[in-house]
A and B are shown apart, each in its own frame.
Chain A
Amino acid sequence: MIGLAVVGVLLLLWEIAGRAGRTGLFPPFTDALAALTDLLTWDSLRTDVLPSVGRALTGFALAVLFGTLIGVTLGWFRRLEPWIRPALEFLRAVPPPAVLPVAVLTLGATGATRIAVIAGGAVWPVLIAAHDATRTVEPGYLDVARVSGLRPAAILRRVVLPAVLPALLAGARIALGIALIMMVISEMIAATAGLGYVILQSQRMYAVDQMYAGILLLGTLGWLITALFTVVERRLLGWYRR
């Protein structure tokens, strides 16, 4: 209750500060809210908001898929570790936004490029988590599975995957944050549509109300997607005691 009261007070302060300011750079909250209804029309949802969300989620899904596949594969061959680890650590450390101009140049300013950049940035936390977790699966479990006559495919599915899942989801949570960052930033470079584009363009045209509306919408979407992820995580990890 008190938390919501604090939110109310902050919004009220925003409103008062916006009305008191004369610069026009900091509009009252209600103006931003009014501008938000413009963003929520079917036209803008269809051209800007939904494609953005779609790209972020597609990129994130690809990142989780490939991160898991590559990470588990590399982790399965434990001897590879000292050879590939330093190179992986370096690739992981490259800040994803730095790759964006180069990617746009090489692949073109298309939706597919943006998805690729989102996936390429978000794949690392998943890949590293999958690699680490697979590498450190309790050897006893694997021995028991082998002695019980399980085939490698069955060992992967029934022993390795459950053992890796908690770490994988922790990595995926970080990846989700990166995917959202990359979604916004990829729409601010050489783009003509998308939520990031709308926010940047509103600033350039001094449509400040609309800029804040875009951020409010983005915050809400980010909150929703994170909440959804938490639900999925709880379902998948119901068996895993923390």
Chain B
Amino acid sequence: MRGVTGFAVLLLGWEGLRMLRVLPPTAAPGVRDVVASADAGLVRAAGETLLAWALGLALAAVIGIGLGVLVGLSRWADDATRPTTEFLRPIPVVALIPVAIVLIGIDTRMQAALVGLACLWPLMISTRFGVRDVDPLLIESGRVLGASGLRLVTRVTWPAALPAIRTGLRTAASLGIVVAIAVELVAGSPGLGHYIAQQQAAGQIAASYAGVLVSGVLGWAISATFRTRS
């Protein structure tokens, strides 16, 4: 309830700034206009963004967690991949948008690939950390009790590393939606980013604000989902 008041103050502040002409009324539409401009196209765009996000995240989860377990268990694999990942990781994925356009084309697959690449690093790193950080006592106990190899990994290492993996998943999920919208904005693949840019170019300012609002709701829903599950 008190949280709702916070939102109300935020909206009133927006309207107030408009009335005082601090925000130019032409560039900053009223709350009512923004809500009224929501249409089927907006809902479809939100669905397209979600699809690209989900595909990319799923891709990153499979590859990133797999790689993370591998480099977490094997020092050798870790040493072998370290310099490569250390260089690739800081490249902002959005810089690869032009490459992805050239190599894949402008569609949901391209978007999913970029979202996947962005989500790969947090997933891989926190999985590696989680696997490496498992209490050695647990591993020893597992060994003593007769578990080894794959069984030891699935029964002992995996559950113990799960909280760290969930943390990585949460970071990746939030990052994924940012990248999905960025790709849509630049490449024009279908989704909210494209919708916002298109409406803005067409002079439908209220609709483009509605797009921003809906992306906020998506981002918020995603972070809320992944928080309660961990």
Given the contacts A93-B220, A93-B223, A215-B91, A98 and B84 also touching, CB distance less than 8 Å = no
**A89 — which chain B residues lie within 8 A by C-beta?**
220, 223
Given the contacts A98-B192, A226-B90, A6 and B212 also touching, CB distance less than 8 Å = no
Proximity string of chain A (78-110) to chain B, C-beta cutoff 8 Å, 1 when within and 0 when not:
000011111101110111111111100110000
User: Number of residues in A with C-beta < 8 Å to the partner?
Assistant: 57
Interface residues of B in 95-109 (CB under 8 A from A): 95-99, 101-103
**B83 adjacent to A7 (CB under 8 Å):** yes
**B9 — which chain A residues lie within 8 A by C-beta?**
87
Query: Is A150 interfacial (CB 8 A cutoff)?
Result: no
**B192 — which chain A residues lie within 8 A by C-beta?**
98
> Which of B28, B94, B180, B215 contacts A106 (CB under 8 A)?
B28
CA distance A2 to B179 in the complex (A): 32
CA distance A103 to B28 in the complex (A): 10
Given the contacts A26-B103, A181-B92, A225-B90, A211 and B98 also touching, CB distance less than 8 Å = yes
**B215 adjacent to A98 (CB under 8 Å):** yes
- Most chain B Cβ neighbours within 10 Å, of A5, A10, A87, A97: A97
Interface residues of B in 33-65 (CB under 8 A from A): none
**B103 — which chain A residues lie within 8 A by C-beta?**
25-26
Query: Is A58 interfacial (CB 8 A cutoff)?
Result: no
**B92 adjacent to A218 (CB under 8 Å):** yes
CA distance A177 to B95 in the complex (A): 13
Proximity string of chain B (163-207) to chain A, C-beta cutoff 8 Å, 1 when within and 0 when not:
000000000001001111110011000001100110011000100
**A181 — which chain B residues lie within 8 A by C-beta?**
92-94, 178-179, 182
Given the contacts A6-B80, A6-B81, A97 and B208 also touching, CB distance less than 8 Å = no
CA distance A212 to B223 in the complex (A): 34
**B6 — which chain A residues lie within 8 A by C-beta?**
83-87
For the complex with contacts A95-B216, A95-B219, 5 further pairs of A-B residues with Cβ separation under 8 Å are A85-B3, A87-B6, A100-B185, A105-B205, A181-B93
Given the contacts A7-B87, A10-B84, A86 and B186 also touching, CB distance less than 8 Å = no
**B90 adjacent to A189 (CB under 8 Å):** no
> Which of A3, A83, A102, A204 contacts B81 (CB under 8 A)?
A3
> Which of B10, B23, B101, B200 contacts A87 (CB under 8 A)?
B10
14 contacts between A and B (CB under 8 A): A3-B81, A3-B83, A83-B2, A86-B7, A96-B178, A97-B185, A106-B23, A177-B90, A177-B92, A184-B95, A185-B94, A188-B185, A200-B97, A222-B92
Query: Is B27 interfacial (CB 8 A cutoff)?
Result: yes
**B186 adjacent to A200 (CB under 8 Å):** yes
> Which of A98, A188, A211 contacts B186 (CB under 8 A)?
A188
CA distance A112 to B81 in the complex (A): 39
**A200 — which chain B residues lie within 8 A by C-beta?**
97-98, 186
CA distance A141 to B185 in the complex (A): 48
Among residues of B, the one whose C-beta sits closest to the C-beta of A220 is B87
Query: Is A175 interfacial (CB 8 A cutoff)?
Result: no
**B205 — which chain A residues lie within 8 A by C-beta?**
102, 105
**A102 adjacent to B212 (CB under 8 Å):** yes
Shortest beta-carbon distance from B42 to chain A in Å: 12
**B84 adjacent to A93 (CB under 8 Å):** no
CA distance A25 to B101 in the complex (A): 11
Proximity string of chain A (191-227) to chain B, C-beta cutoff 8 Å, 1 when within and 0 when not:
0000110011011100010011011001100110110
**B215 — which chain A residues lie within 8 A by C-beta?**
94-95, 98
CA distance A183 to B94 in the complex (A): 10
**B90 — which chain A residues lie within 8 A by C-beta?**
177, 180, 219, 222-223, 225-226
**A10 — which chain B residues lie within 8 A by C-beta?**
84
Shortest beta-carbon distance from B74 to chain A in Å: 12
- Most chain A Cβ neighbours within 10 Å, of B95, B186, B212: B95
Among residues of A, the one whose C-beta sits closest to the C-beta of B227 is A89
**B219 — which chain A residues lie within 8 A by C-beta?**
93-95
Query: Is B159 interfacial (CB 8 A cutoff)?
Result: no
Query: Is A153 interfacial (CB 8 A cutoff)?
Result: no
Among residues of B, the one whose C-beta sits closest to the C-beta of A224 is B90
Query: Is A4 interfacial (CB 8 A cutoff)?
Result: yes
